[in-house]
Amino acid sequence: MAGPAEAAAALADGALVILPTETVYGLAADAANGEAVAKIFAAKGRPRFNPLIAHVADLAAAEAIAELDERALALGGGFWPGPLTIVAPFKAGVSDLARAGLDSVAVRVPAHPLARAVLAAFGGPVAAPSANRSGRPSPTTFAAALEETGDAAALALDGGACEVGLESTVVSLLDGPPRLLRPGAVTRGQIEALIGPLAEADTEDAHRSPGRLARHYAPAAPLRLDATEAAPGEAFIGFGRVGPAELNLSRKGDLAEAAARLFGRLREADALAPAAIAVAPVPDEGLGEAINDRLRRAAGFVG
Protein backbone atom coordinates (compact mmCIF):
# COMPACT_ATOMS: atom_id res chain seq x y z
CA MET A 1 0.00 0.00 0.00
CA ALA A 2 1.17 3.51 -0.79
CA GLY A 3 2.36 5.56 2.17
CA PRO A 4 3.56 9.10 2.94
CA ALA A 5 6.79 8.75 0.91
CA GLU A 6 4.88 7.78 -2.26
CA ALA A 7 2.38 10.58 -1.61
CA ALA A 8 5.20 13.13 -1.29
CA ALA A 9 6.72 11.85 -4.55
CA ALA A 10 3.35 12.16 -6.32
CA LEU A 11 3.01 15.75 -5.07
CA ALA A 12 6.54 16.54 -6.31
CA ASP A 13 5.46 15.15 -9.70
CA GLY A 14 2.58 17.62 -9.91
CA ALA A 15 -0.12 15.01 -9.21
CA LEU A 16 -3.07 15.23 -6.79
CA VAL A 17 -3.30 13.21 -3.57
CA ILE A 18 -6.26 12.42 -1.31
CA LEU A 19 -4.87 13.48 2.06
CA PRO A 20 -6.49 12.62 5.42
CA THR A 21 -6.46 15.36 8.05
CA GLU A 22 -8.00 15.49 11.53
CA THR A 23 -10.73 17.83 10.24
CA VAL A 24 -11.84 16.47 6.83
CA TYR A 25 -10.16 14.75 3.88
CA GLY A 26 -8.27 17.12 1.57
CA LEU A 27 -7.45 17.05 -2.15
CA ALA A 28 -3.78 18.01 -2.11
CA ALA A 29 -1.25 19.47 -4.56
CA ASP A 30 2.16 21.15 -4.40
CA ALA A 31 1.11 24.71 -3.46
CA ALA A 32 4.04 26.23 -5.34
CA ASN A 33 3.08 24.49 -8.61
CA GLY A 34 0.33 26.46 -10.36
CA GLU A 35 -0.37 23.72 -12.89
CA ALA A 36 -0.84 21.14 -10.16
CA VAL A 37 -3.08 23.53 -8.22
CA ALA A 38 -5.16 24.10 -11.38
CA LYS A 39 -6.03 20.39 -11.31
CA ILE A 40 -7.62 20.87 -7.86
CA PHE A 41 -9.92 23.62 -9.12
CA ALA A 42 -10.89 21.47 -12.12
CA ALA A 43 -11.55 18.32 -10.06
CA LYS A 44 -13.71 20.18 -7.52
CA GLY A 45 -15.47 22.46 -9.99
CA ARG A 46 -14.32 25.23 -7.66
CA PRO A 47 -14.41 28.89 -8.77
CA ARG A 48 -10.86 30.14 -9.23
CA PHE A 49 -11.50 33.23 -7.12
CA ASN A 50 -11.80 31.03 -4.00
CA PRO A 51 -8.32 30.67 -2.44
CA LEU A 52 -6.94 27.45 -0.91
CA ILE A 53 -5.30 26.73 2.45
CA ALA A 54 -1.53 26.07 2.43
CA HIS A 55 -0.66 23.21 4.80
CA VAL A 56 2.81 23.09 6.34
CA ALA A 57 4.70 20.87 8.78
CA ASP A 58 5.27 23.32 11.62
CA LEU A 59 5.35 26.94 12.80
CA ALA A 60 8.78 27.55 11.24
CA ALA A 61 7.49 26.39 7.85
CA ALA A 62 4.45 28.65 8.30
CA GLU A 63 6.76 31.63 8.91
CA ALA A 64 8.48 30.93 5.58
CA ILE A 65 5.26 31.54 3.63
CA ALA A 66 3.35 34.06 5.78
CA GLU A 67 4.11 37.21 7.77
CA LEU A 68 3.19 36.04 11.27
CA ASP A 69 2.76 38.79 13.87
CA GLU A 70 2.56 38.31 17.66
CA ARG A 71 -1.09 37.29 17.50
CA ALA A 72 -0.38 34.69 14.82
CA LEU A 73 2.53 33.30 16.80
CA ALA A 74 0.34 33.06 19.91
CA LEU A 75 -2.39 31.24 17.98
CA GLY A 76 0.04 28.96 16.14
CA GLY A 77 1.88 28.21 19.37
CA GLY A 78 -1.40 27.45 21.13
CA PHE A 79 -3.30 25.42 18.54
CA TRP A 80 -0.84 23.97 15.98
CA PRO A 81 -0.74 21.23 14.98
CA GLY A 82 -4.52 21.38 14.94
CA PRO A 83 -7.77 22.57 13.35
CA LEU A 84 -6.91 26.28 13.03
CA THR A 85 -6.15 28.25 9.85
CA ILE A 86 -4.57 31.71 10.01
CA VAL A 87 -4.96 34.24 7.18
CA ALA A 88 -1.91 36.52 7.14
CA PRO A 89 0.10 38.64 4.67
CA PHE A 90 1.78 36.47 2.03
CA LYS A 91 5.56 36.11 1.97
CA ALA A 92 6.71 33.45 -0.53
CA GLY A 93 6.41 29.89 -1.81
CA VAL A 94 2.69 29.60 -2.67
CA SER A 95 1.47 29.99 -6.27
CA ASP A 96 -0.80 32.88 -7.29
CA LEU A 97 -3.53 30.43 -8.25
CA ALA A 98 -3.57 28.79 -4.80
CA ARG A 99 -4.01 32.28 -3.27
CA ALA A 100 -6.51 33.32 -5.97
CA GLY A 101 -4.19 36.25 -6.67
CA LEU A 102 -4.51 37.72 -3.15
CA ASP A 103 -1.56 39.24 -1.28
CA SER A 104 -2.52 37.11 1.73
CA VAL A 105 -2.28 33.39 2.41
CA ALA A 106 -4.26 30.97 4.58
CA VAL A 107 -1.91 28.66 6.50
CA ARG A 108 -2.48 25.67 8.74
CA VAL A 109 -0.43 22.93 10.44
CA PRO A 110 -2.64 19.81 10.47
CA ALA A 111 -2.45 17.27 13.30
CA HIS A 112 -3.26 13.99 11.55
CA PRO A 113 -0.16 11.74 11.70
CA LEU A 114 -0.41 10.81 7.99
CA ALA A 115 -0.76 14.46 6.94
CA ARG A 116 2.24 15.35 9.13
CA ALA A 117 4.30 12.53 7.62
CA VAL A 118 3.46 13.64 4.06
CA LEU A 119 4.31 17.28 4.84
CA ALA A 120 7.60 16.29 6.47
CA ALA A 121 8.54 14.07 3.49
CA PHE A 122 7.45 16.65 0.89
CA GLY A 123 9.17 19.58 2.57
CA GLY A 124 7.07 22.41 1.09
CA PRO A 125 3.58 23.91 1.43
CA VAL A 126 0.70 21.73 0.25
CA ALA A 127 -2.55 23.30 -1.00
CA ALA A 128 -5.52 21.21 0.10
CA PRO A 129 -9.16 22.18 0.05
CA SER A 130 -11.73 19.72 1.35
CA ALA A 131 -11.90 16.81 -1.12
CA ASN A 132 -15.60 17.26 -1.94
CA ARG A 133 -16.84 18.57 -5.26
CA SER A 134 -17.59 22.27 -4.82
CA GLY A 135 -20.71 23.02 -2.75
CA ARG A 136 -21.13 19.48 -1.38
CA PRO A 137 -20.57 18.17 2.15
CA SER A 138 -16.89 17.66 3.00
CA PRO A 139 -15.74 14.00 3.13
CA THR A 140 -14.97 12.70 6.61
CA THR A 141 -14.24 9.08 5.64
CA PHE A 142 -11.87 7.52 3.09
CA ALA A 143 -14.81 6.09 1.13
CA ALA A 144 -16.55 9.48 0.90
CA ALA A 145 -13.32 11.15 -0.25
CA LEU A 146 -12.81 8.55 -3.00
CA GLU A 147 -16.41 8.99 -4.10
CA GLU A 148 -16.10 12.79 -4.31
CA THR A 149 -12.79 13.44 -6.08
CA GLY A 150 -10.87 10.13 -5.95
CA ASP A 151 -10.83 9.89 -9.75
CA ALA A 152 -8.69 13.01 -10.01
CA ALA A 153 -6.05 11.80 -7.55
CA ALA A 154 -2.98 9.76 -8.51
CA LEU A 155 -2.84 8.37 -4.99
CA ALA A 156 -5.14 8.21 -1.95
CA LEU A 157 -4.13 7.71 1.69
CA ASP A 158 -6.59 6.03 4.06
CA GLY A 159 -6.39 7.78 7.43
CA GLY A 160 -9.64 6.39 8.82
CA ALA A 161 -12.58 8.49 9.95
CA CYS A 162 -11.72 12.16 10.64
CA GLU A 163 -11.67 12.87 14.34
CA VAL A 164 -13.01 16.45 14.20
CA GLY A 165 -15.33 16.11 11.19
CA LEU A 166 -15.67 19.87 10.45
CA GLU A 167 -13.24 22.06 8.50
CA SER A 168 -10.70 24.12 10.46
CA THR A 169 -11.52 27.41 12.16
CA VAL A 170 -10.36 30.28 9.91
CA VAL A 171 -9.13 33.52 11.55
CA SER A 172 -8.06 36.58 9.56
CA LEU A 173 -5.26 38.70 11.00
CA LEU A 174 -5.17 41.10 8.04
CA ASP A 175 -5.39 44.85 8.66
CA GLY A 176 -7.46 45.63 11.75
CA PRO A 177 -8.85 43.49 14.54
CA PRO A 178 -8.85 39.69 14.15
CA ARG A 179 -11.98 38.29 12.50
CA LEU A 180 -13.51 34.83 12.58
CA LEU A 181 -14.06 33.87 8.90
CA ARG A 182 -15.19 30.31 9.59
CA PRO A 183 -16.07 28.81 12.98
CA GLY A 184 -14.60 25.39 13.71
CA ALA A 185 -13.30 23.07 16.39
CA VAL A 186 -11.02 25.72 17.85
CA THR A 187 -13.80 27.83 19.31
CA ARG A 188 -14.29 31.60 19.45
CA GLY A 189 -13.74 31.44 23.23
CA GLN A 190 -10.42 29.61 22.89
CA ILE A 191 -9.13 32.15 20.38
CA GLU A 192 -10.31 35.18 22.37
CA ALA A 193 -8.56 33.78 25.45
CA LEU A 194 -5.24 34.12 23.59
CA ILE A 195 -5.59 37.26 21.43
CA GLY A 196 -8.62 39.17 22.73
CA PRO A 197 -12.00 39.92 21.14
CA LEU A 198 -12.81 38.76 17.61
CA ALA A 199 -14.64 41.20 15.36
CA GLU A 200 -17.27 40.22 12.80
CA ALA A 201 -16.07 39.52 9.25
CA ASP A 202 -16.44 42.59 7.00
CA THR A 203 -17.32 42.94 3.31
CA GLU A 204 -13.63 42.88 2.31
CA ASP A 205 -13.43 39.47 4.00
CA ALA A 206 -16.41 38.28 1.97
CA HIS A 207 -14.51 39.04 -1.25
CA ARG A 208 -11.36 37.34 -0.06
CA SER A 209 -13.12 34.36 1.48
CA PRO A 210 -16.01 33.57 -0.87
CA GLY A 211 -16.40 30.18 0.80
CA ARG A 212 -18.41 32.21 3.31
CA LEU A 213 -21.09 33.19 0.83
CA ALA A 214 -22.15 30.40 -1.51
CA ARG A 215 -24.62 27.65 -0.63
CA HIS A 216 -22.16 25.18 0.73
CA TYR A 217 -21.77 21.77 2.36
CA ALA A 218 -25.13 20.94 0.84
CA PRO A 219 -26.76 17.55 0.28
CA ALA A 220 -29.07 17.14 -2.73
CA ALA A 221 -32.26 17.28 -0.62
CA PRO A 222 -33.33 20.64 0.87
CA LEU A 223 -32.69 21.10 4.59
CA ARG A 224 -35.24 22.17 7.23
CA LEU A 225 -33.55 23.33 10.45
CA ASP A 226 -34.68 23.43 14.09
CA ALA A 227 -37.23 20.67 13.43
CA THR A 228 -38.89 18.84 16.30
CA GLU A 229 -40.49 16.14 14.18
CA ALA A 230 -40.42 14.80 10.61
CA ALA A 231 -43.12 15.74 8.07
CA PRO A 232 -44.26 12.95 5.70
CA GLY A 233 -41.49 12.11 3.20
CA GLU A 234 -38.77 13.79 5.26
CA ALA A 235 -35.64 12.19 6.67
CA PHE A 236 -34.94 13.36 10.23
CA ILE A 237 -31.48 13.90 11.70
CA GLY A 238 -31.82 14.07 15.47
CA PHE A 239 -29.73 15.56 18.26
CA GLY A 240 -29.94 14.30 21.83
CA ARG A 241 -33.46 13.14 22.67
CA VAL A 242 -35.05 15.03 19.73
CA GLY A 243 -35.50 12.88 16.62
CA PRO A 244 -34.75 9.25 15.84
CA ALA A 245 -32.01 7.26 17.55
CA GLU A 246 -30.73 5.69 14.31
CA LEU A 247 -30.04 8.94 12.41
CA ASN A 248 -28.80 11.08 15.29
CA LEU A 249 -25.85 13.49 15.59
CA SER A 250 -25.29 12.52 19.22
CA ARG A 251 -27.85 10.69 21.32
CA LYS A 252 -26.08 11.87 24.48
CA GLY A 253 -26.07 15.47 23.26
CA ASP A 254 -22.28 15.67 22.91
CA LEU A 255 -21.19 18.47 20.52
CA ALA A 256 -17.80 16.95 19.61
CA GLU A 257 -19.54 13.71 18.63
CA ALA A 258 -22.15 15.69 16.68
CA ALA A 259 -19.45 17.60 14.76
CA ALA A 260 -17.61 14.40 13.87
CA ARG A 261 -20.84 12.85 12.56
CA LEU A 262 -22.45 15.84 10.83
CA PHE A 263 -21.33 15.39 7.21
CA GLY A 264 -21.72 11.61 7.37
CA ARG A 265 -25.30 11.93 8.63
CA LEU A 266 -26.10 14.42 5.84
CA ARG A 267 -24.80 11.88 3.31
CA GLU A 268 -26.77 9.04 4.91
CA ALA A 269 -29.98 11.10 4.99
CA ASP A 270 -29.45 12.13 1.36
CA ALA A 271 -29.03 8.49 0.31
CA LEU A 272 -32.67 7.91 1.40
CA ALA A 273 -33.70 10.34 -1.38
CA PRO A 274 -36.15 12.16 0.93
CA ALA A 275 -38.38 15.10 0.00
CA ALA A 276 -36.36 17.09 2.56
CA ILE A 277 -34.01 16.56 5.49
CA ALA A 278 -35.28 17.85 8.83
CA VAL A 279 -32.61 18.54 11.47
CA ALA A 280 -33.17 18.89 15.22
CA PRO A 281 -31.91 22.05 16.96
CA VAL A 282 -28.27 22.05 18.09
CA PRO A 283 -27.24 24.40 20.95
CA ASP A 284 -25.18 27.35 19.69
CA GLU A 285 -22.46 27.31 22.36
CA GLY A 286 -18.82 26.19 21.88
CA LEU A 287 -18.47 23.78 18.97
CA GLY A 288 -22.21 24.26 18.32
CA GLU A 289 -21.40 27.57 16.59
CA ALA A 290 -19.46 25.69 13.89
CA ILE A 291 -22.11 22.97 13.55
CA ASN A 292 -24.88 25.55 13.15
CA ASP A 293 -22.76 27.54 10.67
CA ARG A 294 -22.43 24.46 8.43
CA LEU A 295 -26.14 23.62 8.81
CA ARG A 296 -27.25 27.16 7.90
CA ARG A 297 -25.00 27.18 4.83
CA ALA A 298 -26.14 23.72 3.80
CA ALA A 299 -29.71 24.98 4.08
CA GLY A 300 -28.83 27.99 1.93
CA PHE A 301 -29.23 30.58 4.72
CA VAL A 302 -26.05 32.58 4.47
CA GLY A 303 -24.95 35.87 5.88
Contact residues: ligand TXA, CB under 6 A: 21, 23-24, 26, 50-53, 85, 87, 99, 102, 104-106, 108, 110, 128-130, 167-168, 170, 181-182, 208-211
**78 binding partner (options ligand TXA, Mg ion, none; Cβ < 5 to 8 Å by kind):** none
Q: In terms of CB distance, is 21 or 130 closer to Mg ion?
A: 130
Residue 238 CB, shortest distance to Mg ion, in Å, is 25
Residue 168 CB, shortest distance to ligand TXA, in Å, is 3
Q: How far apart are CA 118 and CA 9, in angstroms?
A: 9
Q: In terms of CB distance, is 106 or 260 closer to ligand TXA?
A: 106
Q: In terms of CB distance, is 81 or 243 closer to ligand TXA?
A: 81
Residue 301 CB, shortest distance to ligand TXA, in Å, is 17
Q: How far apart are CA 58 and CA 37, in angstroms?
A: 22
Half-sphere exposure of 69 (CA within 13 A, CB side): 12
Residue 251 CB, shortest distance to Mg ion, in Å, is 28
Which residues from 90-119 bind Mg ion, rule CB under 5 A? none
**183 binding partner (options ligand TXA, Mg ion, none; Cβ < 5 to 8 Å by kind):** none
Q: In terms of CB distance, is 110 or 219 closer to ligand TXA?
A: 110
Grouping H, G, I as helix, E, B as strand and the rest as coil, residue 271 is helix
**If we measure between CA atoms, which residue out of 164, 184, 180 comes closest to residue 172?**
180
Work out whether 169 is an interface residue with Mg ion (CB under 5 A): no
Residue 86 CB, shortest distance to ligand TXA, in Å, is 10
Cα distances from 171 to residues 60, 181, 182, 183, 211, in angstroms, run 19, 6, 7, 9, 13
Q: How far apart are CA 48 and CA 263, in angstroms?
A: 24
Strands ordered across the beta sheet of 155-156: 155-156, 17-19, 26-30, 126-127, 53-55, 104-108, 84-89, 169-172, 179-182
Stretches 5-13, 129-137, 249-257, 259-267: which one binds Mg ion (CB under 5 A)?
Answer: 129-137
Q: How far apart are CA 188 and CA 295, in angstroms?
A: 18
Number of neighbours of residue 24 by Cβ within 10 angstroms: 26
Q: In terms of CB distance, is 164 or 227 closer to ligand TXA?
A: 164
Q: In terms of CB distance, is 34 or 240 closer to ligand TXA?
A: 34
Q: Which long-range contacts (CB under 8 A, 24 or more apart) does 39-42 make?
A: 39/14, 39/15, 39/152, 40/16, 40/127, 40/129, 41/97, 42/152
Work out whether 168 is an interface residue with Mg ion (CB under 5 A): no
| Pairing of the two strands 169-172 and 179-182 | antiparallel
Work out whether 130 is an interface residue with Mg ion (CB under 5 A): yes
Residue 214 CB, shortest distance to Mg ion, in Å, is 10
**210 binding partner (options ligand TXA, Mg ion, none; Cβ < 5 to 8 Å by kind):** ligand TXA
DSSP state of 104: E
Q: In terms of CB distance, is 33 or 130 closer to Mg ion?
A: 130
Work out whether 21 is an interface residue with Mg ion (CB under 5 A): no
Residue 229 CB, shortest distance to ligand TXA, in Å, is 33
- CA triple 93-94-98, angle to 5 deg: 175
Binding site for Mg ion (CB under 5 A): 130
